[in-house]
């Protein structure tokens, strides 16, 4: 057993890798935050070398932030949460990485979001932003629902909502569907008058471009627009089934997180909405907690 494994002074780093940026925090075993750092995009599925350099960048920034001059990344026990590592090949590739840490525990972005939301306890989350999915960690087993990606999955997500709104607007512009406030707002948003102009905006666009108009769908629904209500209600129905599935064991602590959660939570059946708990911590805190939990299993104190 090395000095690292039985030392109360061991430091931990939690890393939340995302498509736009990478966040790292450093804490001690008691969970006191000693430093925070940011890095570039860290989606290993899109760009593995970039993701790895972003992780190192964020980690070095966090280490610098601690002001601890005698510490190196090689002293830290890392918990890393990344999108896509539910793919066995990607998980394997990342495990083979000659990482700069003393030890690295790897898991999915959903897992660290879930650990963070429940402050290290077991529970479940619904994540609804650009994409959507459900994740549960209960009695030692973990399970994901949905999250199959755009355009085939991710129902109720911002990208799904944007796609519904654009499909509808194109039908209106072709004269195949009755006009609506939603179609009017979509045309205004993109400054277009014809289906041709609108469709040109979406040639080879990523899901996040669709997701940009999700708040507009909620806005039109609130003003009573029938089509927008239909889209929002289909999203709510999906999230309701998802929540009921995650709450099969009614003692499960369930949170909703992601950019659209603030809209959806207000629209759920009040009884169902009341079953959602407060998000206790952000994913990077989940990542550091994941590192601590795994390290404790290996190093009896």
Minimal distance, residue 134 CB to a second copy, in Å: 9
How many CB atoms are closer than 10 A to CB 249? Answer: 10
Alpha-carbon dihedral of residues 208, 214, 216, 218, nearest 10 degrees?
Answer: -170
Q: Which is nearer to a second copy, 56 or 170 (CB)?
A: 170
Minimal distance, residue 122 CB to a second copy, in Å: 21
Minimal distance, residue 142 CB to a second copy, in Å: 13
Q: Interface with a second copy includes 203 (CB under 8 A)?
A: yes
Cα distances (Å, whole numbers) of residue 103 to 10, 38, 41, 73:
11, 20, 22, 10
Q: Which is nearer to a second copy, 12 or 160 (CB)?
A: 160
- CA gap 110, 136 in Å, rounded: 9
Cα distances (Å, whole numbers) of residue 140 to 61, 81, 122:
33, 18, 9
Q: Interface with a second copy includes 241 (CB under 8 A)?
A: yes
* Binder among 79, 158, 195, 283 for a second copy (CB under 8 A): 195
Helix (H, G, I), strand (E, B) or coil at 159: helix
Q: Which is nearer to a second copy, 64 or 149 (CB)?
A: 149
- CA gap 203, 227 in Å, rounded: 24
Minimal distance, residue 191 CB to a second copy, in Å: 17
How many CB atoms are closer than 10 A to CB 181? Answer: 17
Binding site for a second copy (CB under 8 A): 86-87, 144-146, 148-149, 151-153, 155, 163, 166-167, 170-171, 174-176, 195-196, 198-200, 202-203, 238, 241-242, 245
């Amino acid at each position: 057993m090395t000095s690292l494994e039985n030392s109360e002074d061991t430091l931990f780093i939690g890393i939340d890798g995302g498509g736009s940026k990478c966040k790292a925090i450093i804490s001690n075993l008691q969970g006191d935050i000693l430093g925070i750092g940011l890095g570039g995009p860290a989606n290993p599925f899109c760009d593995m070398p970039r993701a790895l350099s972003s992780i190192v960048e964020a980690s070095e920034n966090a280490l610098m932030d601690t002001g601890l001059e005698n510490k190196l990344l090689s002293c830290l026990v890392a918990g890393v949460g990344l999108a896509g590592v539910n793919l066995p090949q990607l998980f394997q590739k990342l495990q083979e990485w000659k990482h700069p840490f003393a030890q690295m525990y790897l898991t999915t972005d959903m897992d660290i979001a879930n650990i963070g939301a429940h402050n290290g306890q077991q529970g479940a989350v619904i994540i609804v932003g650009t994409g959507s999915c459900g994740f549960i960690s209960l009695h030692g087993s973990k399970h994901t629902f949905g999250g199959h990606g755009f355009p085939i999955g991710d129902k109720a997500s911002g990208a799904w909502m944007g796609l519904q709104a654009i499909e509808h607007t194109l039908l209106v512009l072709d004269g195949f569907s009755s006009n609506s406030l939603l179609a009017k707002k979509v045309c205004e948003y993109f400054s277009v008058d014809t289906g041709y102009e609108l469709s040109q905006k979406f040639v080879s666009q990523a899901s996040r471009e669709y997701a940009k108009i999700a708040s507009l769908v909620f806005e039109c629904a609130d003003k009573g627009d029938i089509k927008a209500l239909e889209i929002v209600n289909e999203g709510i129905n999906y999230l309701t089934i998802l929540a009921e599935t995650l709450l099969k064991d009614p003692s499960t602590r369930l949170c909703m997180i992601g950019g659209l959660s603030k809209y959806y939570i207000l629209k759920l059946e009040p009884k169902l909405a009341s079953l959602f708990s407060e998000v206790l911590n952000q994913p990077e805190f989940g990542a550091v907690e994941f590192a601590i939990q795994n390290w404790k299993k290996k190093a009896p104190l």
